Amino acid sequence: SRLRIVTFSTIDNFVSRLQNAKNIIVLTGAGVSTSLGIPDFRSSEGFYSRVKYLGLNDPQDVFNYELFKKEPSIFYSIANMILPPENVYSPLHSFIKMLSDKGKLLRNYTQNIDNLESYAHIPADKLVHCHGSFASATCVTCDWKVPGTKIFKNIRNIELPICPNCYKERVKMMELYNPYVSESVDLNTNSKKFSAKEVETISNIKSFGVLKPDITFFGEPLPERFFQCLMTDMHKCDLLICIGTSLKVAPVSDIVNMIPAQVPQVLINRDPVRHADFDLSLLGFCDDIAGLVTKRCGWEFMHKDWEKLSGG
Ligand code: OAD
- The rounded Å distance from CA 309 to ligand 1 centre is 24
* CA-wise closest residue to 33 among 303, 285, 247: 285
Task: Write the residue with the smallest CA distance to atom 37 of ligand 1.
Answer: 131
Q: Which of 247, 266, 269 has most ligand 1 atoms within 8 Å of CB, for mutation?
A: 269
Say if ligand 1 is within 6 A of residue 246 CB. Answer: yes
What's the CA gap between 169 and 303, in Å, rounded?
49
* CA-wise closest residue to 120 among 39, 41, 33, 20: 33
What's the CA gap between 271 and 77, in Å, rounded?
30
**Active-site option among 93, 131, 235, 303:** 131
Can 235 be counted among the known catalytic residues? no
Phi, psi of 226 (to 5 degrees): -60, -50
Model pTM score: 0.90
Say if ligand 1 is within 6 A of residue 244 CB. Answer: yes
* CA-wise closest residue to 160 among 141, 179, 180, 132: 141
Q: What domains sit in the chain, N to C, each tagged with a CATH number?
A: 1-38+90-130+223-312 (3.40.50.1220), 45-83+132-215 (3.30.1600.10)
Binding residue ranges for Zn(2+): 139, 142, 163, 166
* pLDDT tens-place values along the chain, 312 residues long: 556 666 667 899 999 999 999 999 999 999 999 999 999 999 999 999 999 999 999 999 999 999 999 889 999 999 999 998 988 999 999 999 999 999 999 999 999 998 999 999 999 999 999 999 999 999 999 999 999 999 999 999 999 999 999 999 998 888 877 666 654 445 555 555 566 676 666 667 889 999 999 999 999 999 999 999 999 999 999 999 999 999 999 999 999 999 999 999 999 999 999 999 999 999 999 999 999 999 999 998 877 665 544 343
Say if ligand 1 is within 6 A of residue 39 CB. Answer: no
What's the CA gap between 167 and 159, in Å, rounded?
14
Say if ligand 1 is within 6 A of residue 42 CB. Answer: yes
- Residue 178: the pLDDT is 65
